[in-house]
Amino acid sequence: MGNKLITSENERIKSLFHSLDRLSSSLERLFSARKPTLNGESFYTDEELSKKLKVSRSSLQDYRDQGRIPYIKLAGKILYRASDIEKLLEDNYREKFR
């Protein structure tokens, strides 16, 4: 068995580099969408939560004013703990009655 020089023109090498490029792109998309956490807790901004719940930001303001939704106000910015929102949604879940 003779020694054969493998170059970048080799189909297996091309396929390997193509797979690495796809993996790299996937990882970049995954990490760019990742939200930072504090002690394992994720937070939503007012804008993010209104989009996620499909309600207006003024509705969120009303919920805060009525004490219906927990929030954190830090330097004028409103934040919502993801775990608080999940609990709120579960607590208000209603089974269908038909």
CATH number at residue 43: 1.10.10
Which of 89 and 1 is assigned the larger pLDDT? 89
32 domain-assigned: no
Residue 1 has pLDDT above 60, yes or no: no
Note the pLDDT of residue 65: 96
This model's pTM is above 0.75: no
Structural domain including 66 reads: 37-91
Looking at the 3D structure of the chain, how many domains does it have?
1
The answer to whether residues 83 and 89 touch, using CB atoms and an 8 Å cutoff, is no
71 domain-assigned: yes
The residue ranges of DSSP E strands in the chain, in sequence order, are 37-38, 41-45, 72-74, 77-81
The answer to whether residues 34 and 42 touch, using CB atoms and an 8 Å cutoff, is no
pLDDT single digits (tens) 66-90: 999 999 999 999 999 999 999 999 9
